[in-house]
Amino acid sequence: MRTELGCTHLPVRPHPPPPTQAYINEQAAPELLPYRHDLVERMGEHIRDQEQHLDTLAEEGNNELARTLLEWQTNRAKFLMRRYLRARLFKIQSNASFVLDSAEYTACLSDKEQRFAKEYFLLTAQYMNDTVLEQLPEAFR
């Protein structure tokens, strides 16, 4: 579509799908954002359903194009969810003691992320104790 100035207008792109937007938001935000329980659960169910449908298409073996497209979509959904969760884990690892000390940030974590943060903090503290503090003279400990 051309305007009177000769410029071509491109159609407006719709907003990115929720997993893409959640990943972009989490990656761009300097602080830990609230965990998206609804999105993670919904995407997990969606991925499981697509994988079951892929198995059905593979057994039938007659629509290779549809199976390939569905497999591509499934892999993309898995990729986005992994990136979203990895971005969150990176922030938790970078600031484990702060996240655990702050009730505001602890509320942003899922149950599994809270367990991970506690275990990560304990393991890191044990590692620092074993590698650094044990090597120092008694007077400096």
Q: Supply the pTM of this predicted model.
A: 0.79
Q: pLDDT tens, 97-123?
A: 999 999 999 999 999 999 999 999 999
Q: pLDDT tens, 18-55?
A: 788 999 999 999 999 999 999 999 999 999 999 998 99
What average pLDDT does range 50-76 have in this prediction?
Answer: 88
Concatenating the DSSP letter of every residue in the chain gives -B-TTSPBPPPPPPPPPHHHHHHHHHHH-SSPPPP-HHHHHHHHHHHHHHHHHHHHHHHH-S-HHHHHHHHHHHHHHHHHHHHHHHHHHHHHHHTHHHHHH-HHHHTTS-HHHHHHHHHHHHHHHHHHHHHTGGGS-GGG-
